[in-house]
Amino acid sequence: MSGSPLRPIRDASTRARSDADDAPAEQGQRRQCPWCESFDTRFVQRGLTGPTDERDQYIVCNSCERITYEILSRSNRDMRVSQFRTGGTVRDGRTQTKYIINRVLKVGVNEYLLYVKPILRRESADDESSRRFR
């Protein structure tokens, strides 16, 4: 041996993975607020260990200061009592925002994850005029 260190061979797939690893870790920069359409958001990831102790996953908009949930954690009892199903709706108790359930995933003996999207109500002139004549 001549004393030169061995260098690992990097193929295209290794380069693609390392380029993806160099991307910013904060995903809130890529998420858009559904209410004001701003990209100035902060992402709070679900996790019971680590930097946050959150059961739910959501984004906080820095412009309009609204919280928009992406994943809600529910217990087995909550699922039985409230009868959450894909295509159904769930209401946030704090902000009274209504969400549609896209997916229900069982992740343990006593936990379900509800993947949700907010139901946006856009007020328009047609809606206001139709309400007046009811």
Domain enclosing residue 68, as ranges: 26-132
> 47: which DSSP letter?
B
For residues 28 and 83, the model is more confident at 83
For residues 45 and 4, the model is more confident at 45
The pLDDT score that the predictor gives to residue 20 is: 41
The reply to whether 9 falls in a domain is: no
Q: How far apart are CA 66 and CA 44, in angstroms?
A: 13
The reply to whether 128 falls in a domain is: yes
Q: How far apart are CA 8 and CA 11, in angstroms?
A: 10
pLDDT tens profile 82-126: 999 999 999 998 888 999 999 999 998 999 999 999 999 876 545
The reply to whether 16 falls in a domain is: no
pLDDT at 77 over 70: yes
pTM, two decimals, is: 0.67
